[in-house]
Structure 1
Amino acid sequence: MATLKHISSKNSDYTAIETYLVYQHDAFTGKPLLDEQGKPKLRDSYLLDTLECGDFSFATACLLANRKYGKNTQHGDIKSHQYIISFDPRDAADNGLTMEKAQALGLKFCEENFPGHPAIVCTHPDGHNHSGNIHVHIVIGSIRTRKVERKPYMQKPRDWREGMKHSSTAQTMRHLRVEVMELCEGAGLYQIDLLNGSKERVSEAEYWARRRGQLKLDRENAALLAAGQQPTQTKFETAKEILRKQITDVLDNATNFEDFSDRLMRQYGIAVKESRGCLSYLPAGRTKFIRAKHLGDKFDKAAVLSTLQANTERKPKAQFKQDTIGKLVDIQAKLKQGKGIGYERWAKKHNLKAMAQTLILLEEKGLTDEDALDQRIAELDTKFHDSLAVVKDLEGRMKVNKELRYQVAAYASTKSVAQQLKAAKRPAAFEEQHRAELTAHRAAAAYFKANDIAKLPSPKKLEAEYAQLASEKAKFYEQYKEAKEELLKLKDAKQNVALFFREDERTQHHER
């Protein structure tokens, strides 16, 4: 699952960000780490490219843009924006993600979404938590240095005109999250629905509070161990983490909202209230409620009521284990192809191991009966094809939506030129001078006519519709992948069982 994070900076020292990307820094203080000679230490591994900087460095290109357009002269002006795409740690092993591939994806993302802005694209192999998550930093100067083609997601002139500043609005972030989801799917990487939030939302401030608290606790525990005492706590938890655990503990057992609120107060002294359709929680010892949105989507009203309803109809969900099983080898067929006795010995050991894995899988799934196995395979095959059909349908609707947004944007941006043509004293000369704009305007008008569109839809509504389609696609794509994975495993298991008994019959016949 790739995540997207945005950071805006008011720092006028544009070299600082490149220094951070290239050299090692202390995770807590942000200060560069020095070697024995007192010089900054380079990072062990990174890839860095610049875009839209010409023959200059990123810092120089940004400073020249500021001077040319007379902007970013005040201390409070946002000088640059940083977007971080962090990939799932599993992508490296499972999907072949490398730093080079991540860098290429980052460059493509930057070119498509931040055209005209001086930019740095830098890939690191790991993050602060050392989980092995390859991630890409995309840093752009806030000023666009050239006019760019208006794209469907661009709603205001500042989004495409030269000399205008980039603005990271809620609409911009929604568009970029959709782009990250599409980027991951196209590259065959793990992904989540970035449009509907996270079950447990950890802010930047809470993340670093957790890191600092853990560091302090580790130091205290080290002192205790040195004194011959055993630490009582090894993992630091923030107040919000503890609150999430307490709410989750109650939520797993409550069956209605009254029961939920009573249990929270009785077990943990937590008060819960509803205001304007939103829940807030007040832990013991606090005077100010904490809104559910600051804890995560799992704790808002809709999710809580949904969980409570599910608890009243509690049904254990079968969990499918992702353990892989090996395929049995047709030993007799391989021997006929010329394989030797060494291969035969290896194949027998391999088949025993693969058959053991197969039996464990079938027993865990309760599919040791052949009819039950066939029925489950048929169900998964139907789910697989149905989910794939929905994904393809949503992709088609997204494509139509994207084309319509493009034509609406083109028509709106060239409408004034078409109106000027009607009042031009020399229409032929005006036509020649504005041929590109008029051609785009007429092409858009022809598109609307061909598709029986009399009234142009709102660009904002089209953008929201596209985001909703992308969200639905992500959901069904996950269903498609899950069904496909289980289906392939069970088909392999069925094939293994059939081949095992066929080999067993061959052995018995040979012995007779």
Structure 2
Amino acid sequence: MATLKHINSKNADYGAAEQYLLFEHDEFTMKPVLDETGRLIPREDYRLSTLNCDGEDFAVACMRANLRYQKNQRREDVKSHHYIISFDPRDGPDNGLTVDRAQALGEQFCKEHFPGHQALVCTHPDGHNHSGNIHVHIVINSLRIEEVPFLPYMDRPADTKVGCKHRCTDAALRYFKSEVMEMCHREGLYQIDLLNGSKNRVTDREYWAQKSEKARAAYRQAHESDFIIADAAARYFKAHGITKLPARKALQAEIEQLISEKDGLYNTYHEQKQRFKELQTVKRNIDQILRRDEPHRRKEQSHER
């Protein structure tokens, strides 16, 4: 099953993140593994790309942006955010997941959820202790260098502004987990309920493969329509003569509730689908019995005549 992990870093050396991705590290101590001559050991296989760096090295691009906007200059500032999407080890043999495909999914996830941020996206083919799980690292500069649309996990106007910083709130992390689940379901990969601890640890792959695209799109649309963008709402209320805006805490609580309701439906729909399949099996068995008995009944009726 895919999982999502988040780590924030106050390390001003952005090159350290890239070094971790490109060279072998001890997964417990996070220190680089050296060969007998004391040199770093390159990882055997990986895919690496940068986003919004304008052809520059990731570390250089991040430091230039920080200087331009005078951000991330203090020791206590969060300089970068590190998200890790780890896929189920069985997704390779069972579902055709490759390093290249995982890299493409990671790049798309980064573009959709962290627009306007300089980013590194790197996929490794194996996890800790050679567990065989392909995983994607997404490292973003905490500073935003472009103005972006108001996304569902955001809760204040500054979250869209150029020169402001990314915040991984509890609600945001919950939303990202929800989106990882949606991605795996869409791609036919193994997945569990990351939000509620599903008893059925692995979602029925056949169910998700057969799930109607129309129903998924309608559900997502209904979910997103309940997210109220603060500045757009303010303009709407002003245009319609409404003077009192709803409290942001209430809006945030509603967002979290909607996300919970969305993911709660996964298990309910799954149970109904399983029940439907059982009833179909029973019906087929009855039909077969009736078809077998039909010639016998006709023969008996002909003798009675």
Alignment TM-score, normalising by the size of structure 1: 0.48
Alignment correspondent of 1:10: 10
User: Deviations 1:438-477 (Å, cap 9, x if unpaired)?
Assistant: xxxxxxx8xxxxxxxxx98964254224312321232135
Distance 1:415 1:22, change over 3 A: same
2:267 to 455, 466, 475: 475
Query: What is the aligned partner in structure 1 of residue 132 from structure 2?
Result: 132
Q: 1:188 to 1:410 in 2, by over 3 A?
A: farther
Q: Distance in 2 between matches of 1:410 and 1:114?
A: 20
Identity of aligned residues (%): 48
Q: Which amino acid aligns with 1:468?
A: S
Unaligned regions of 5+ residues in structure 1, if any? Answer: 200-321, 323-383, 420-444, 446-454, 499-512
What are the ranges of 5 or more consecutive residues in structure 2 without an aligned counterpart? 290-305
Equivalent residue runs for 1:176-255 within 5 Å: 176-197=176-197
Does the CA-based 8 Å contact 1:84-1:137 persist in structure 2? Answer: yes
Instruction: Give the aligned partner of residue 221 of structure 2.
Output: 399
1:463 equivalent in structure 2: 255
Size of the aligned set, in residue pairs, is 272
| Equivalent residue number for residue 64 of structure 1 | 64
Q: Which has the larger radius of gyration?
A: 1
Alpha carbons of 1:154 and 1:55: their partners in 2 closer, same or farther (altered >3 Å)? same
The alpha carbon displacement at 1:481 in A equals 7.1
Change (3 A) 1:171 1:81: same
Structure 1 counterpart of 2:171: 171
Q: Classify 1:402/1:39 alpha carbon distance in 2 versus 1 (closer, same or farther; 3 Å).
A: same
Give me the whole-angstrom Cα distance separating, in 1, the residues matched to 2:14 and 2:172. Answer: 23
Between the aligned partners of 2:85 and 2:147, the Cα distance in structure 1 is: 26
Structure 1 residue 95: Cα displacement: 1.1
More displaced, 27-36 or 176-185? 27-36
SS in 2 for 1:175: helix
C-alpha contact 1:120 1:140 (8 A) present in aligned 2: yes
Over aligned residues, Cα RMSD in angstroms?
Answer: 3.5
Q: Distance in 1 between matches of 2:107 and 2:252?
A: 27
What's the offset of the Cα at 1:70?
1.1
Q: What CA distance in whole angstroms lies between the structure 2 residues aligned with 1:188 and 1:409?
A: 35
Q: 1:456 to 1:73 in 2, by over 3 A?
A: closer
| Shift in Å, 1:131 | 1.7
Assess if the C-alpha contact under 8 Å between 2:192 and 2:198 holds in 1.
no
1:144–1:165 CA contact under 8 A, matched in 2: yes
Deviation track 1:254-307 (CA, whole Å, cap 9, x = no partner) reads xxxxxxxxxxxxxxxxxxxxxxxxxxxxxxxxxxxxxxxxxxxxxxxxxxxxxx
How far off is 1:90 after superposition?
Answer: 1.2
Q: Retained in 2: the 8 A contact 1:388–1:477?
A: no
Structure 2 CA distance for partners of 1:479 and 1:90, relative to 1, 3 Å: farther
Quote the Cα distance in structure 1 between the aligned partners of 2:198 and 2:275.
23
Whether contact under 8 Å (2:2, 2:86) holds in the other structure is yes
Which structure carries more helix by proportion? 1
Q: Which amino acid aligns with 1:163?
A: G
Distance 2:94 2:272 in 1: 17
Q: Which amino acid aligns with 1:411?
A: A
Q: Is residue 145 of structure 2 the alignment partner of residue 157 of structure 1?
A: no
Work out whether residues 82 and 137 of structure 2, in 8 Å CA contact, stay in contact via their aligned partners in 1: yes
Question: The residue matched to 1:146 in structure 2 has which SS?
Answer: coil
- Kindly provide the CA deviation profile for residues 421-440 of structure 1, in whole angstroms up to 9, marking residues without a partner as x: xxxxxxxxxxxxxxxxxxxx
Residues 2, 184 of structure 2: 8 Å contact kept? yes
